[in-house]
Structure 1
């Protein structure tokens, strides 16, 4: 079996476990407290929540499979396939909410699956480097750092408005996209031995980004309706991860002269269907949470 095929199978497995973990995290973020709390307070409360930890353990299996996939394939390939986590989250969330998946949702799910297939097959993503130089990462931090700080500050100033959740979701999605690129470097270092991994700054940056991504993810869920945070987060991560894969690691797409238009259409379909599915899942989750909180006979 080719390395790209192994990477694809591992990425699909990662998408399944990450979807389960995300659904559990969404529910925990809204159920852990009814009080208005800050980002740090929310994260500390979730650390005491058993359901949140179970979701984290399941998501960790997904991240392990993602890391294994990145060891065999490019960030472009793996991130494109991880978008299918929505296809798994859809029936899982519906099951937990005791509802049925609508024909409208299945239609968007089919379009998403088709778009991802076209991107993987027509785009023919190829691997680049596993790691980048310190100078390259300094430029990345110089660009992404101020943007994320501005998003956090603006979200605080606009607290209580839907845009606040969107801005925090952008921060979380950006961090998880960065996490994917750093994961590829960590996997490469692990192949050279544990001593090389411990001495490398990528390991500690990777751990810090993972914790920060989780914290801002929960904050974005709490900042407003899931219809604002989930679509933004879901589409920001693969976009940032793919762009960094090209810019930082030198990965490429090879669709051929006739394939660029098809690839562009597939990307547009993937973005639109992802947002549509995420909004639909978020609306259903919010409705289920509201009905769960209403007292009997209300």
Structure 2
């Protein structure tokens, strides 16, 4: 193993740890009732999560500089493995076997999906019209997912997680366009200053939106929403790459079948994590009120009986005759 590959592995592991710590911090905020954006901005733990996410993103980009995508992306999926024990530690519990099995299935599916995804060739990036079209389509999709999640209790968290992953993927695609323009590698030439400014604002909007959506997804548990975020991000990036950047899955039809099978494996893992996720600290639990009171009667003990029958008229004592005294 050469020095560049080793450095890429170390940076990928550090990036996964940063993302995992950020997710745990967001989960703790959600369990404590983080509230709206204004309340989050006043919480130091929120800014720790923002800083850890930024650090994880920077180390991920640095890892891609030193190592190939096929090496860095699967290692980035270790975020889920790192987040499970960290979350359990703060919740003062142990990671269940079902959670470990769900994480293993999810990682296997995610690794298979990344392994057959072809990276963009050098210089490939979105044009301005394509970037604006993706922005509009993504905004509609996110609005649908958020609206659906607002009317659903359990499935809503996974809808928010899906929206978070999609928003992050679009932010990455737009970032690629901006960096390619600044490096004068766009096929149509560099963008103008106002075009670059517009795309930069869109990148920041989707990045912050993805962070806030993941914050909403972590209410009630961490494992399943984090798995969905990690799946939706490369899935959305693959759709953009195949549809607009000329990418494809390795191996032709076999690669497409492998990607479909990997998606099924990952979905099974998410389902297992959804069923294994314990209630978050402070979460409201349903209270059931018994409608009947249990009564236990010992069979060997005689029950006391009482004669509750009313006396018949013949059994009633006759009234004494009244005595009148006259003077």
Superposition TM-score tier, normalisation by shorter sequence: 0.7 to 0.9
CA distance in 1, matches of 2:27, 2:7: 30
2:27 match: 26
Whole-angstrom CA distance in 2 between matches of 1:107 and 1:197: 50
Please say if 1:183 is aligned against 2:183: no
Q: Where is the helix percentage greater, Structure 1 or Structure 2?
A: 1
* Residue pairs, 1:1-298, within 5 angstroms: 1=2, 10-33=11-34, 42-69=36-63, 81-121=75-115, 123=116, 125-128=118-121, 129-156=123-150, 158=151, 161-189=153-181, 200=196, 201-222=198-219, 229-230=225-226, 232-255=228-251, 260-277=256-273, 280=276, 283-284=277-278, 286-290=279-283
Higher relative CO (Cα under 8 Å, sequence separation at least 6) belongs to 1
- Please report how far the alpha carbon of residue 72 of structure 1 lies from its aligned counterpart in structure 2 after TM superposition: 6.4
Q: Deviations over 1:181-237 (max 9, x none)?
A: 223334445656xx9897623322211211122222223444x66687555444322
Change (3 A) 1:5 1:251: farther
Q: Report how many aligned residue pairs link the two structures.
A: 276
Deviation, 1:96, is 1.7
Q: How has the CA–CA distance of structure 1 residues 197 and 7 changed in structure 2, closer, same or farther, with 3 Å as cutoff?
A: farther
Distance 1:231 1:94, change over 3 A: same
Alignment deviations for residues 50-103 of structure 1 (CA, whole Å, 9 cap, x no partner): 112112211211111233345567878766553331111111112222222233
RMSD: 3.8
User: What TM-score comes out, normalization by structure 1 length?
Assistant: 0.73
Contact 1:173 1:232 in 2 (8 A): yes
Distance 1:182 1:8 in 2: 26
Q: Which has the larger radius of gyration?
A: 2
* TM-score, with structure 2 as normaliser: 0.68
Taking the aligned partners of 2:159 and 2:103, their CA distance within structure 1 comes to: 26
3-state secondary structure, aligned to 1:172: helix
Q: Answer whether contact 1:235 1:271 (CA < 8 A) is retained.
A: no
Structure 1 gap ranges (5+): 292-298
